Amino acid sequence: MAIFQGKSTRSPSGARNRTYRGKKKFELGRDPTETRIGEKKLRKIRTRGGNEKLRLALGNEINLINPADNKAKKLEILNVIENQANPNYVRRNIITKGAIVETELGKARVTSRPGQDGVINGVLLTE
């Protein structure tokens, strides 16, 4: 069954809203990408208007910014430590925006959306 991102059939009180038209193609959604740690693998998705969106299915490198000297480095991701989007994502090593990952320099927070951008960017956490 398709993922529907249109208007709900229920009002805030729980009553049924009358539908005045059927579902539309532009209201379709897709399953979340759930980027995992592994050798880099991109998926191309055709979006509205014939454009393309790159989804990162697997990735093991992060473009890391060090706030102390504002220098960028490309480092390997060792592990997912924390993910506020879903606690089960830590067990499955799934990377989303806001996830805290372990690198050689220390902990880093992911600032990009790998499932939307196709790249993992992050900022080194100072503790």
7-31 tens-digit pLDDT: 999 999 999 999 999 989 889 999 9
State how far the alpha carbon of 74 is from the alpha carbons of 12, 16, 54, 92, 104, in Å: 47, 52, 20, 23, 11
Average pLDDT over residues 74-94: 95
Please compute, for residue 53, the number of CA atoms within 13 A of its CA located in the half-sphere on the CB side. Answer: 14
Share of the chain above pLDDT 70, in %: 99
CATH number belonging to domain 32-124: 3.10.290.70
Region 62-80: mean pLDDT is 95
Note the pTM of the prediction, 2 decimals: 0.84
The pLDDT confidence band at residue 53, using thresholds 50, 70 and 90, is very high
* pLDDT surpassing 80 at residue 74: yes
